Amino acid sequence: MIRASLLAAFATLQGAAAPSPVPAPVATSAGAPITPEPARILASYPHDTSAFTEGLLIDHGALYESTGREGQSDIRRVDLTSGRVLARVKLPPALFGEGIVAWRHELFSVTWHGGQGFRWNLPALKRSGGFRYDGEGWAMTEDGRNLILSDGTPVLRYLDPATQKVVRRLTVTLGGRPLEQINELEYVDGEILANIWMTRYIVRIDPSDGHVRGVIDLAPLIAKIGPTDRDSVPNGIAYDRTTHKLYVTGKNWPRLFEIAPPQHAP
């Protein structure tokens, strides 16, 4: 369940499966209002409806996706335009796959419970090692220096890519209050974008102090999808740093969307 503090911060939030009018502005820690911005769809592509999406990224032009649920979790390389799976590796059936991040010539992946992480060679997706972490694993990204891990709490952990040890903790706040249910992550032009689980929102996080700079409302995408399963929430953000294109999808969605990147304040 989403905590009451999050519901209050988003004001008229009604959840991902029931698009509603854009919520009232919420105050930042500095007192300036944030009005959620509706996502602007630029294009859409087929997406595997059996993919319970937990992580999404683009590395050297290739789209990678991780999926969850015990017995069904895998990591795959996907053709963006057709949605066809080009290569995949399955996780052990007892594990629930979660987020992924590309670092140099490897892909790191985490699992929901048990603190079990994996490393995979790219682009072959051959296992090259593993690592451990405390607590849950939800999603990952990187800022060019460190890996960044979410676990559903307001605290993002920065990991040394070489040792996977925690080197920094960043508390995310919205309206001066800690923001929970932080899920899929993507580092985009100096901001951390994050899906908020069981909502239709992506928040734009300032990595210097953790405050939310802005909110993207995915209601236009949900209106196109028309999900009927409450678990089919938005999850999956990928940014191509070469083309500057931003892609999002959701769990078991039939489409992957390109949306306009957020506009930064001057």
Q: How confident is the model at residue 228 (pLDDT cuts 50, 70, 90)?
A: confident
Q: What per-residue confidence (pLDDT) applies to 23?
A: 45
**Residue 16: which pLDDT band, with cuts at 50, 70 and 90?**
very low
Q: How confident is the model at residue 18 (pLDDT cuts 50, 70, 90)?
A: very low
Tell me, what's the pLDDT at 35? 87
Assess whether pLDDT exceeds 60 at residue 10.
no
The model's confidence at residue 26, banded by pLDDT at 50, 70 and 90, is: low
Q: What percent of the chain has pLDDT over 90?
A: 82
The pLDDT assigned to 31 comes to 53
User: Is the previous residue joined to 123 through a cis bond, with omega within 30 degrees of 0?
Assistant: yes
How far is the C-alpha of 1 from the C-alpha of 88, rounded, in Å?
32
* Mean per-residue pLDDT, 2-13: 43
Asked if 132 contacts 110 with a C-beta cutoff of 8 angstroms, the reply is: no
CA 83 to chain centre: 19
User: Residue 182: pLDDT band by 50, 70, 90 thresholds?
Assistant: very high
Exposure b/e, 112-139, CB count within 10 A at least 16 = b: beeebbbebebbebeeeeebebeebbbb
pLDDT of residue 85 exceeding 80, the answer is yes
0.75 exceeded by the pTM?
Answer: yes
Q: Is the pLDDT of residue 143 over 80?
A: yes
pLDDT at 263 over 70: yes
pLDDT score of 266: 44
Could you give the C-alpha distances from 94 to 17, 54, 72, 77, 125, in angstroms and in order?
29, 16, 9, 22, 20
* Per-residue confidence (pLDDT) for residue 32, from 0 to 100: 66
Structure tokens at 257: 């969307």
